[in-house]
Amino acid sequence: MRVWITHHLHSLKIALGRLRASSAASLMSVLVIGVALSLPASLYVLLANAQRAAGNVSVQPEITAFLKLDVDDMAAEQMAQALAKRPDAGAVTFVHRDKGMDKLRKAGLGDVMAGLSSNPLPHAITLAPTGADPERIDRLAAELRQHENVEQVSLDANWSRRLAAILAFGRELVWLLAVSLGIALAAIIGNTIRLQIYAQREEIEVSRLIGATDRFIRRPFLYFGLLQGLVGGLAAWGMVSLLIALLDGSVARVALAYGTRFSLAGLAAQETLILLGLACVLGFTGAYLSVTRTLRHFN
Amino acid sequence: MIEFSEVTKRYPGGHEALANVSLTIAQGELVFLTGHSGAGKSTLLKLMAAIERPTSGQIIVNGQSLGRMKRAALPYFRRNIGLIFQDHKLLYDRSVFDNVLLPLHIQGLTGPDAAKRARAALDKVGLLGRERARPITLSGGEQQRLCIARAIVSRPALMLADEPTANLDDAYAREIMDTFLAFHQVGVTLVISTHDQNLIRRYGGRTLTLANGHLTEGAAESPAGRDAALLTP
């Protein structure tokens, strides 16, 4: 056990020394790794922010039936209860006209409402059908339109479906970018390691002659790859944070123009850890493949 | 300690470096390996250190059969052998001291214990004052002594030296040989290849002579073996 720890500490020391010795070349590859990692990471962060911006709007299709103004509280509530019994209606919420007014006020439209003498809003009933079958939702909406109490039915399924599709496309793009750039990264790190191995060729040959195992020879290179990945990951984190800091001001101005507040969120602690972890894994994998392949050529 | 039975080594391309060599070297022996250039001295030493594998025949070193040894077992086998090379094979990117530390690091020994052993090894070859120097600044004789220090730091029971004095003048060569002799006196088995007949005459010891890949003299140390060796042309 002690020998094992000694070996690892020793390898780490060698790897750190090599990183320092080739600082210019290492800096370049760390930058490349950082830029390559920051692309999908930035896209991910922006996507997460877009989702948060659209967060109050549920992606699930929703039907809202606005009742006629002369329908009283009792009748409206009874109607809501009757609808709730239907299996295809999903979650049914009755929104009293006063509550609707409150909601608008909270949404920042209080100034507009202040000039009105009475509440112009009707009662509303929202349905959140559980099935994703658009035909059934359309049928339900048509049925509601026929109802004597109903003035208007709004079906927000279409635009929410579009939003969901765009976000899903964005997520797929993040994955595609992450996978392709990840492969490129492993290759870049592998190549740096290969050059390192050729630079250390003499040491490897002598070490083998005096009893070094392949593992002993391989270990410093694996640490080197891991460290390079880690530093590259940190660089990517810095670039994403910089991007967020740069964009936050203009996004806030846009939001202000719409009368709301919105601030871009950076990578959360957990997401940062995942980014760094992935960078390490990529560095290690690139180094491992390269070392195993290159060492086979020696001897 | 070392036993060859009917060992043949043929390199790719058909060159036969060793043909049907049988020999025994007992523990604690000092053996000189001699013969003209290309007679197979280096090949014989490489086979003993398992750097090369025999084409046919059996080799037993330290009780281990080298022909059947797995690749993964090789490093552990080599740790018990001190190898000394004609071209030293030193690492020029680190200090004299770090060169001697390398075998200890390979075996997982670091810290003050390792430093103490490295210093003791440097002391034995008279290089203690130069431990911070770079190997490139050492003379040829000093470089060879550094190579010896690196070989002895892991306290091997067997030392194999390939032409250790080939590039040295007489005074340096004598220094190196005296160092070797000191190890021989504490029980280390030594096999030294050389084409310097004066050296062999001066230090005595058993001599194995190779000619064109055939062992022509000194195959076994027992009298019976010696007779057998004399009978083969």
Domains of chain A, by residue range, sit at 2-56+162-298, 62-156
Chain-chain contact of B106 with A212 (C-beta, under 8 angstroms): yes
Given a cut of 60, whether residue A284 has pLDDT beyond it is yes
Give the closest residue to B148 by CA, choosing from B173, B116, B114.
Answer: B173
ipTM: 0.84
For the stretch A214-240, pLDDT in tens is 889 999 999 999 998 999 999 999 999
pLDDT of residue B148: 92
pLDDT band at B222 (very low <50, low <70, confident <90, very high): very low
* Proportion of chain A above pLDDT 70, given as a percent: 92
Given a cut of 90, whether residue B202 has pLDDT beyond it is no
A4, A205, A207: residue with CB nearest B102: A207
Chain centre to alpha carbon of residue A136: 32
Domains of chain B by residue range: 1-80+156-233, 90-155
Q: Summarize the confidence of residues A21-40 as an average pLDDT.
A: 85
Q: What b/e readout covers A61-81, taking b as 16+ CB neighbours within 10 angstroms?
A: bbbbbbbeeebeeeebeebbe
For chain A, positions 200-239, list CB contacts with chain B under 8 A.
202-203, 205-214, 216
Chain-chain contact of A6 with B51 (C-beta, under 8 angstroms): no
> Looking at CA atoms only, how far is residue A212 from chain B in angstroms?
5
Instruction: Report the C-alpha gap between B1 and B185 in whole angstroms.
Output: 17
Q: Summarize the confidence of residues A130-136 as an average pLDDT.
A: 67
Strands of chain B, DSSP E: 2-10, 16-25, 30-35, 56-61, 64-65, 81-84, 158-162, 189-193, 206-211, 214-217
| DSSP H or E stretch at residue B93 | none
Which chain B residues have a beta carbon less than 8 Å from that of A210? 78-79, 83, 102-103, 106, 150-151, 154
Given a cut of 70, whether residue A268 has pLDDT beyond it is yes
Which chain B residues have a beta carbon less than 8 Å from that of A205? 89
Chain-chain contact of B102 with A209 (C-beta, under 8 angstroms): no
Given a cut of 50, whether residue B223 has pLDDT beyond it is no
Instruction: Report the C-alpha gap between A120 and B219 in whole angstroms.
Output: 116
Give the closest residue to B23 by CA, choosing from B222, B233, B231.
Answer: B222
The DSSP secondary-structure symbol of B21 reads: E
pLDDT of residue B49: 92
For the stretch A52-90, pLDDT in tens is 777 645 556 778 888 888 888 888 888 888 888 887 777
* Proportion of chain B above pLDDT 90, given as a percent: 48
B59 φψ region: left (φ > 0), alpha (ψ -120 to 50), beta (else): beta
Q: Which stretch of A131-140, A290-299, B74-83 has the lowest confidence by average pLDDT?
A: A131-140
pLDDT of residue A90: 79
Is the pLDDT higher at B153 or at A192? B153
B108 touches chain A (CB under 8 A): yes
CATH fold of B1-80+156-233, please? Rossmann fold (3.40.50)
How is A226-252 classified by DSSP, letter by letter?
Answer: HHHHHHHHHHHHHHHHHHHHHHHHHHH
Pair of tokens at residue B189: 């088995």
Given a cut of 80, whether residue A185 has pLDDT beyond it is yes
Query: What is the CATH code for A62-156?
Result: 3.30.70.3040
The DSSP secondary-structure symbol of A108 reads: I
For the stretch A200-219, pLDDT in tens is 888 899 999 999 998 899 99
pLDDT band at B226 (very low <50, low <70, confident <90, very high): very low
Chain-chain contact of A210 with B76 (C-beta, under 8 angstroms): no
